[in-house]
Structure 1
């Protein structure tokens, strides 16, 4: 007898940014630890083809998969909470759906029929859902945005149809709602959640499970009211309250029995989840030996979401060392104004310069790199951080005074230039060097010691590279090129010998870090920064 594939679809109501991605990732992590083969999908209703051209201050970071897709940041949560390595099929947008349907229409695929939202757009959405579910027992799909948004209507209709196609016993709808606390009344209010479920039902969906988001414990009377007025059994109503660590969320869900209830509703027998790795992560987070302060020098210092994977990877490194990570966000433009760097970096134990684009704030980042180099402060540079490290070294050590990047200005010595096939003009979306590439590490280098391997695979997202014309002069001045892509003749890792910990990489190691399996670069960087407690 053919085993039916199962589907879980998660929607959100009342407000955006409730944490649907974290809820989906937590559920996936628990089911996977029960021995169930899961996969995940994020469906984004916005019309952009992908988030690659969207400002990180508006939409958060762009997460990159092994196969080179620029995706929503929630895929980072999905990978961090599970053992999954997701692909481009794990995220799609309204823009991608409409683009495909229009291409089909132009090619005559629809044989002259009138192209409509139903069935053509909804069929394309369902096709993509089935593609994402090919190699799993359960697909967990999250619909971005909020129920009631105009742009999400085709997605709601598609999963309604899919439940009809696959059979109600094989599809589970989970609705995440906000319970706001009204201080004047001194209580949580359930009415917005009731209206959200009513809106969802008006679109043809009845959630079997409701998860209540709140900044505090939800009392039994309120949970009973949600059950009664939303037509959901009380045992199917759960809560998700604010936590000081996102890695406590799956354990809290398990404590309430959410994963067990999901298994029952989908008719799946599975053993208790093996959660020892998550419990260890939470233990180390809850019982840190001390705090470690890391200065993150960037131009998006007001929004953590802009550097989401980076922030989490630093947390992973701290948790692995049983430390509490304390980020100090430093606006690189402020460093360009002649401020006292000793005051700015007072108490900072390590300095990190992350990736980014454009010339704004780069001179401030170069000042921070010089400070870390000369003051012997542990330093980690990522992507643009590597490129600026090379420029700083060229200017102040190798004697190339007007060293710069082709991205910043047309004149000067271009220590950093556009890769073959890349330029500042042309299409921006999905056109960079993206995805996983091989890197060979030099024996006895710091990078080799950290990774414990001669060869590694890391994810990239960039257009520019180190100009190899200058490599002999830089190496002669003391720069160590410890990581190299032989196929593309590309510098991947640089470091300094006369420094306790100075390393920069062209790739984005943060994309592959998990709390129970921290990336070795972040683990080593935090460990060395902790030694710099003076």
Structure 2
């Protein structure tokens, strides 16, 4: 059970970096010796993020234990360097599902089931059951959201029932800059704090996000109208590299402010935090279909960034569908490598297949992830073995050559949420392959999220094992499913059924991404 609590709330706007701040603060406290754990509360009614559209909500991040969370758990993993689990996320859907189930089972002994105390009690029970001496709780959304009110009420009650001095409330807000009048506008922040006070929560610290550094007069005004000491109002302007934020917080002495307020011991030592500060000038194309938000491929983008290369450029796969081979070559020739990410549905699929064909024929380094690997198999079947119409049954149930098919156990499943092959699964890496040279070991665990598999039984002639002759796809990783393929005569043609991007950490990007960068270097010598 936690002894101290840090509660991070947001105001004015969502998507202003509350998750990045929470992850940065947790990392900073970990660096100075604090036993800290993190909890993300999402007020939406989904049980988890698994059925959400990446165009609207960003990527789905999968944990080792097979939980489908939103991208904030990815921030926590990358910054803290530890694996998250389903315990690190609470959604309103989980809470209400539990309450209703208990009511149906008669667990409330005839009581009228209400938001207070039943819903708030369930929330508090989940919070207090978390391990770690200090628990950082990030409440998603903004103050004033209807769906978030019950969670704010729960943490207010918890602070009242325990010791208010064991709680630190941090409010992250945004102050816009009005160029017409050349001034920062603090009124939205003032009103946001007033809303928080009406709920019964007085913030101890206000973190002010802004486009550029804010003048001291504006920060004083925020402190005055919010009832927060001036030294507890911290400005965090936009930065080009979010991984410098723990450093920024350290230099501002935020760890000392937190330690003094919560009366916890910290170690006085330099910040041991290493992140990429210079980048190799390679251009990588991410051939995707979810273009509604940059967060749709967040973990892949960050994996490349953490490997010391500028962020990849997202290419619309649908645009490639309209081009012939020459047009695709013109579009992609300026890139040093391609990544074909995962996804669902047939939109943009033929464009991705055209990109794979270009990379295979032109010896362009390419990494196919999940669906990307399946499309590599389809492209190879069509264009090398001349199996015209080869496809996945996900896109064409009548295909004459179903080289990718739904896994047998998945055919019996009716519900979509939380039913895929999820989480860390053991796989064998075959010796004599590029994949083995990357891992250096025969057995690894990687995170999965898929319903379909490449059919190696009916279409085994497409593949070979390491050392065998012929122009075929070399099997480099396997479990009960095909886990990885590659081409022998290509600088880097690797397809994997799993998601390596979920395991990249600051200072330790997944080795598949560093291997891709190394392949680019070899090609460009």
**Normalised-by-shorter TM-score class:** over 0.9
The answer on whether the counterparts of 1:4 and 1:170 sit within 8 Å (CA) in structure 2 is: no
* Deviation readout 1:454-488 (Å, 9 max, x if unpaired): 11111000001111214530125421110011xxx
Aligned equivalents of 1:218, 1:331: Cα separation in 2: 37
Name the CA shift for 1:249/1:313 in 2 (closer, same or farther; >3 Å): same
State the match for 1:148 in structure 2. 144
Aligned equivalents of 1:245, 1:505: Cα separation in 2: 29
Aligned equivalents of 1:83, 1:5: Cα separation in 2: 23
* Structural mapping, 1:95-134, within 5 Å: 95-131=93-129, 133-134=130-131
State whether structure 2 residue 362 is matched by structure 1 residue 359: no
* Structural mapping, 1:416-495, within 5 Å: 416-423=404-411, 426-476=414-464, 477-485=471-479, 489-495=480-486
* Structural mapping, 1:23-422, within 5 Å: 23-131=21-129, 133-134=130-131, 136-272=132-268, 274-278=270-274, 281=275, 284-285=276-277, 287-288=278-279, 290-317=280-307, 319=308, 324-339=309-324, 340-411=327-398, 412-422=400-410
2:173 partner SS: strand
Q: Offset at 1:509?
A: 0.4
Aligned equivalents of 1:4, 1:394: Cα separation in 2: 55
1:438 partner SS: strand
Q: Offset at 1:4?
A: 6.5
Aligned equivalents of 1:30, 1:273: Cα separation in 2: 11
1:100 partner SS: helix
TM-score for both structures, normalised by structure 1? 0.94
Aligned equivalents of 1:59, 1:297: Cα separation in 2: 19
Aligned equivalents of 1:14, 1:303: Cα separation in 2: 20
State the match for 1:514 in structure 2. 505
* Deviation readout 1:146-182 (Å, 9 max, x if unpaired): 0011111100000001111221121111000111101
The answer on whether the counterparts of 2:439 and 2:511 sit within 8 Å (CA) in structure 1 is: yes
Aligned equivalents of 2:271, 2:429: Cα separation in 1: 35
Name the CA shift for 1:326/1:104 in 2 (closer, same or farther; >3 Å): closer
State whether structure 2 residue 519 is matched by structure 1 residue 528: yes
Q: Offset at 1:249?
A: 1.1
* Deviation readout 1:314-349 (Å, 9 max, x if unpaired): 1112x2xxxx41422211111111250121113100
Aligned equivalents of 1:56, 1:475: Cα separation in 2: 33
What do you get for the CA RMSD once the two structures are aligned? Answer: 1.5
1:48 partner SS: coil
Aligned equivalents of 1:235, 1:248: Cα separation in 2: 21
1:240 partner SS: strand
Q: Which moved more, 1:521-530 or 1:150-159?
A: 521-530
Q: Which moved more, 1:182-191 or 1:101-110?
A: 182-191
Aligned residues, how many? Answer: 516
Q: Which moved more, 1:74-83 or 1:340-349?
A: 340-349
State the match for 2:468 in structure 1. none
Aligned equivalents of 2:522, 2:215: Cα separation in 1: 45
The answer on whether the counterparts of 2:413 and 2:419 sit within 8 Å (CA) in structure 1 is: no
The answer on whether the counterparts of 1:295 and 1:352 sit within 8 Å (CA) in structure 2 is: yes
* Deviation readout 1:181-235 (Å, 9 max, x if unpaired): 0111201111111111010000000011110000001111111111111111111
TM-score for both structures, normalised by structure 2? 0.96
Aligned equivalents of 1:362, 1:100: Cα separation in 2: 39
**Unmatched tracts of structure 1, length 5 or more:** none
**Unmatched tracts of structure 2, length 5 or more:** 465-470
The answer on whether the counterparts of 1:404 and 1:413 sit within 8 Å (CA) in structure 2 is: yes
The answer on whether the counterparts of 1:30 and 1:273 sit within 8 Å (CA) in structure 2 is: no
1:417 partner SS: strand
Q: Offset at 1:359?
A: 1.1
Aligned equivalents of 1:147, 1:157: Cα separation in 2: 11
